[in-house]
Structures are given as structure tokens and as C-alpha cells.
Amino acid sequence: MIPEIGHFALVLAFGVSICLAVFPLYGYLTNQNGFCATAKPLALLQGLALAVSFGVLMYGFLAHDFSIKYVADNSNLDLPWYFRMSAVWGAHEGSLLLWALILGFWGVAVALFSRGIPDHMSALVLSVMGMIGVGFLAFMLFTSNPFVRILPFAPGNGADLNPLLQDPGLIFHPPMLYMGYVGLSVAFAFAMASLISGKLDATWARWSRPWTTVAWAFLTLGIALGSWWAYYELGWGGWWFWDPVENASLIPWLIATALMHSLAVTEKRGLFRSWTLLLAIAGFSLSLLGTFLVRSGVLNSVHAFANDPERGVFILGFLIVVIGGSLTLYALRASKVSEPGEFGWISRESFLLFNNLLLTVMAVSVLLGTLYPLFVDAIGGGKVSVGPPFFNAVFVPLTAILVSGMAFGPLAKWRQSDDPKLYRPLIVTLIVSVAVGLVWPSIFGGAYSIATAVGVTLALWIAIATGLDVVKKIALYGGISATFSRIEKGTIGMWLAHFGVGVMIFGVVMVENHTEHRDVRMGVGDSQRLGSYNVRMTDLAVINGPNYVADQATFQIYQAETLYKTVTPQKRRYNASGMVMTESAIDSGFTRDLYIAMGEPLGEGDWAVRLSVKPFVDWIWAGAFLMGLGGFVSITDKRYRKRIKEEKAEAAVEGATA
């Protein structure tokens, strides 16, 4: 009975989303405020219905209701409760429900936090989000219903969650990532609403800026969590594989990053309007494309578990409607956008244009590399794969150019900024970063690496430039607390994020160029050198977990002659599915991670063992965390909470000066 409530709530949400898509839009077009006013209550109702539906599915998992097919396929009596909760989004149907729930959540958030926005505008935004909801809920109800039941003969036990997903990483990675993916729908909805209304002035940029920034921050954290999960759980110590599904999240991230910067120009200067609209459309379309790639299984990837062509066709159709519809509207309306004002060849606008250009080219090249195998296959060119060498060859130089320019942007002034004095801090920055960068590989030891020298120089370049900017602002405002209370929160967010980019680049450069990595054969009593440590296997044992049996090796790590640490990597075999999983043992540190993982048994009590020292690997995720934090700090700015009255007064002033 209870699962039917969830199913009913899902159908209700579908009905509500149809109303949400139709009524406010109709109200807007016919100028009937009554219809417009339905938007907020409908958005709240949609969110509530989805929450009920989601809650019921989670209850099904917690209560072991194996009459629900989805639960039977993805859970097991022995599965611990916290993995039963995260198993809700462990496979196709449930992850779509999570997607829909988060869409509902964003709808509720827009309904509650849009007091500063005129009613007809928020009605249009919610209406567009309702249309997206219609598409996704129809997809769920017609092709991927999570509440399908196995009755009357419900199985006594479930098939178990894929062991790969029985990890804390699954608890946080998908919700974070989806918050970002789906959050981009808000930016998209704002763009569409302003296209529908034809009011394409700079105000929509201010409205949609905090939403875009927060979606971007979630996306950043979601991708970073995924990378971290891959590192310790499934990647044998790698942190990024240029897997199609990773790319599918990176492409919208790059576009969202461009969008954030372009929105700044649109908000502050009223420029780049049509370009910003296009980026907002592209960002969400690409996150839909990502969903399509993951869910349809057209690309060969670690994420392609089971796949179903019919679902792929549905999402592809939805994608065509969304992209086709939005671009048509764009083509009809964007030509009317006038771009008031000019900007000098050297100005903040031009640096941000440069930023946008590079980020877009990066996104396009990753997209081309990801889709190329599909394209070749479609024209009968056979099966090909595009590997990391391609992506590295394209992505790394572009990143270097982007980062070189990143130090200039924040120093430049709007309109015209060719006074060399402004850029004087960069002379110091350049000298220090090049000097330290060149010396660093020698300090670190090992063979001198030019790649490291260049990479570290770039990381320092952006980090120092950001630091000097902070110091300059503090001197200007006279004191740290005065600065941080008076300056725009967006600037603080920008500092954090830019500094984070430097931290991340440093981590990437060190890991990629100085990882010490050996696969060796070891038995009990054998010792191996690992960096400056000595690793000794002291024991092999069989351990019984809640739902698996593991071979566990005990390694003692010695530094010089003293015992530094004892670690116990495992090789697990899960009872229900018989799948084998590797649980690595990682000793994390500020300057390096020690990574030990068991490969396979080689007979005679010996195991293949992977030993790695990964210098500064945690800096990659620390950098991403700083970027995400920067995003969240930015949206605390007062000006996003302005009321309509002030907005109108300001618009009047802007109108008078234009």
C-alpha cells in the first residue's frame, strides 16, 4: 500500500508540473495576475509531492520492501542502513527521482527566495521550470518508474546494491552533482523568462547571478567528490580519467564558469547580454546532454551499468525539444538586444571576454573528444576510443593560457584600464612565481621536471596575484575587518575561488609529475621501499563484513627504523552478487598520500600489491573546496536581497543615465 502512495505522489507531481508549466505562462500572456499567482503555490506543491514520493522510496529501502522491484534489484537484507538510504539513488530509476526531487527543491527555493523579483517574472521562471519537470516526470512515469512492484510473489531478499556503490562517496557525490546539474536549470529558466518577456536589460542578470553561482558551487563540489571517490575506491589511485561521464560533468562546469563571469559583465555593465543568454541555455542543455550520455549507455564508460535504448531515445527527444525550443526563442528575441556602452581594448570587460572565449573553447574541445567515437561509429568508421593523451594535449595548454590571464582580470577596471600602474603588482608576482617555480623541482628532489617548473609557476602566479590583491584592498580600506565588512562578498568569493585554482593546479602538477608508483609481488614477511618509507606485509587474514568476506593484508609502514603506521587494505567479495572490490588503504597527509591496494592473489600466499606515494594529491580537492566555498560566500552579498522598490528606483536611475 505504501509504495502506491509514492507512485501516486509522483503522478500528482506530474500533474502539478503540467499546471505549473501552463497556468503562469497563460496568465502572463493574457495579463491575468490570478493565473500568475498560481506559480508559487504550485511550485511548493510540486516540491512537496516529490518529497513524499522520494520519502516513500527511501522508506521502501529502509523497511526492506522487496515487493518494489527497484528495491529488490538494489538492496539486500544485509546491506547496512546508511547504504540502503543512499541506494535510493544508486541506480537509474532512483537517480532520476533524485533529479526530479532536486528540481522540485530548486522550484521551492525560487518560490521562497524571489521576493525581490516582480511577480510576473518569477511566475515565468517557475513556469519554465515546470516545463522541465513535465519532461522529466513523464520520462520517469513512462519509462523508468521506481515504484514498479513484483506482486504477488515478492522476493524474500534483494539482489544487493552494486558493491562499487557501497561507499560513503555515493552518499554525497550524486546529490551534490545533481544540485549543480539541476541548479543550472534555474539559470536557464531565468534566461528563458527574460526572453519570453522581452525584458532583456541587466536586471535579469542580477536575479539569476546568485542562482548560477550556487549551482556552480554545488557542481564544483559534486565533481570534486566524484574525483575523490574514484581516487580511493575505484580508480586504483587515479583522480581523473577523462571518462565520458566525467567529461559530461566537466563540460557544463566549464560553461557555468564562463556564465558566472559573463553574468558579472551583464550585471555591472549591461554588456554581453545575448552571449550570456546563450551560455545560460548551453549550460543547462549540456547538463541534460550529460544526463543523456550517462543514462542511455551510448558511450562506453565505467558509469554505463545497464542500459536501455528506449530511454536514450526519450532523453534525446527531450534534449532536442529543450535545445531547439530555447534556441528558436533565442533567435527570435535576442536580435532585439542592444548592447549599450563600449569598452576599451584593455579593460575588465575584455579580460572577461578572454576568459569566456577560453572556457568555451575548452568546453567545445572536451565535447568534441567525448562525442568523436559516437560520430565515427555513426558514419561507419568503426569503433574508436579517444584517450587521455588527446584531452591532456588540448586541455592543459588552454588551462595555462587561461590562468595566465586570470591574474589580470581582477586588477583591471571596467570600461578602460590601460594604465600600467594597475598591473604593477604583477611584476613582483611574475618574478617570485618564476623564481620559486624554477627552483621548486630541485627542492622537491628527484629528476628535474620542466613540466613541474611551469605548472608550479602558474599555480604561484595566480595564488600570489590573488594574495596581493587582498593585501592591496586591506590597505585601501584600512584594516582586515573593515575590508571584509565593506567589500562586496562576490570579491571575497572570487579571491577564494581564484586562490583555490592555484592550490588545485599545484596538486595536479605534483601528482601528475612526481607520483611514485610500483606494482609488486608481496607475501607475508616481504618488505618493499615506498618513497622514504619501508612497507612490510605482516599478516594476511580473512575478515567477515556485514555483507562481504574480505582478504585483509596488514602492512606496517616504517620510517627509518620506527613504526610509523599500520594499515589494512582489503580485497572484498560481496556475498549477494559475488563481485570483487578493492578497498585501498590510504594514509593522507599534507604533503603526500601513501596508497596501498591489493591486486590479485598470485598463489603461494603472495599478492599483487600496488604501492604509491602521491605528493600533494589532497590539494586537488582542497582547491576545489575553496572554489565551491567561494561560490557560497559570493551569494551572501546584500544586494541580492534587495526588494522590488529599490530595484525600481535603481532601474529608473539607470534608465535616466542610459
Partner 1 sequence: MNPKRKQRLFIILGLVSGLGVAVGLVMYALSQNINLFFTPSQIAKGEAPPAQMIRVGGMVADGTVERDPRSLKVAFDVTDFDHNVRVTYEGILPDLFREGQGVVVQGRINQGQFVASEVLAKHDENYMPPEVTEALRQSGKLEQMMGGQKQ
Q: Is 414 in the site for partner 1 (CB under 8 A)?
A: no
User: How near is the Cβ of 597 to partner 1 at its closest, in Å?
Assistant: 8
DSSP sequence for 117-134:
S-HHHHHHHHHHHHHHHH
User: How near is the Cβ of 204 to partner 1 at its closest, in Å?
Assistant: 22
Whose CA is closest to 343, among 352, 355, 356, 333?
352
Q: Is 599 in the site for partner 1 (CB under 8 A)?
A: yes
Q: Are 87 and 94 in contact (CB under 8 A)?
A: yes
Q: Is 172 in the site for partner 1 (CB under 8 A)?
A: no
User: How near is the Cβ of 270 to partner 1 at its closest, in Å?
Assistant: 14
Q: Which residue of 52, 141, 234, 316 would you call a contact of partner 1, by CB under 8 A? A: 234
Q: Is 112 in the site for partner 1 (CB under 8 A)?
A: no
DSSP sequence for 140-152:
HHHH--TT-B--S
Q: Is 419 in the site for partner 1 (CB under 8 A)?
A: no
- The piece of 61-69, 117-125, 353-361, 646-654 that touches partner 1 (CB under 8 A) is 353-361
Give the E-state strand segments of 561-627 in sequence order: 562-567, 570-574, 580-583, 585-587, 592-603, 606-615
Q: Which residue of 22, 316, 334, 386 would you call a contact of partner 1, by CB under 8 A? A: 386
Site string for partner 1, 504-533 (x = CB under 8 A): ---------------xxx------------
- The piece of 135-143, 251-259, 575-583, 629-637 that touches partner 1 (CB under 8 A) is 575-583
Burial class (CB in 10 A: 0-12, 13-18, 19+), 167: middle
User: How near is the Cβ of 528 to partner 1 at its closest, in Å?
Assistant: 13
DSSP sequence for 225-250:
HHHHHIIIIISTT-S----HHHHHHH
Q: Which residue of 141, 329, 361, 434 would you call a contact of partner 1, by CB under 8 A? A: 361
Grid cell digits, residue 255: 560553461
- The piece of 96-104, 428-436, 491-499, 580-588 that touches partner 1 (CB under 8 A) is 580-588
Q: Is 393 in the site for partner 1 (CB under 8 A)?
A: yes
User: How near is the Cβ of 241 to partner 1 at its closest, in Å?
Assistant: 11
Which residues fall within 8 angstroms of residue 408, CB to CB, at 6 or more apart?
Answer: 351, 423, 426
Q: Is 319 in the site for partner 1 (CB under 8 A)?
A: no
Q: Write out the binding residues for partner 1, residues 4-33 only, by CB under 8 A.
A: none
Grid cell digits, residue 616: 600533494
Q: How many CA atoms lie within 13 A of 472 on its CB side?
A: 15
HEC string of 589-601 equals CCCEEEEEEEEEE
Q: Which residue of 4, 310, 342, 646 would you call a contact of partner 1, by CB under 8 A? A: 342
Q: How many CA atoms lie within 13 A of 557 on its CB side?
A: 20
**Cα(147)–Cα(538) distance, integer angstroms:** 49
- The piece of 218-226, 255-263, 358-366, 477-485 that touches partner 1 (CB under 8 A) is 358-366
Q: Are 110 and 130 in contact (CB under 8 A)?
A: no
**Cα(340)–Cα(271) distance, integer angstroms:** 7
Q: For binding to partner 1 (CB under 8 A), which residues are involved? A: 162, 164, 234, 236, 300, 302, 304-306, 339, 342, 345, 353, 357, 361, 364-365, 368-369, 372-373, 376, 382-387, 389-390, 393-394, 519-521, 571, 577-582, 599-600, 602-604, 608, 610
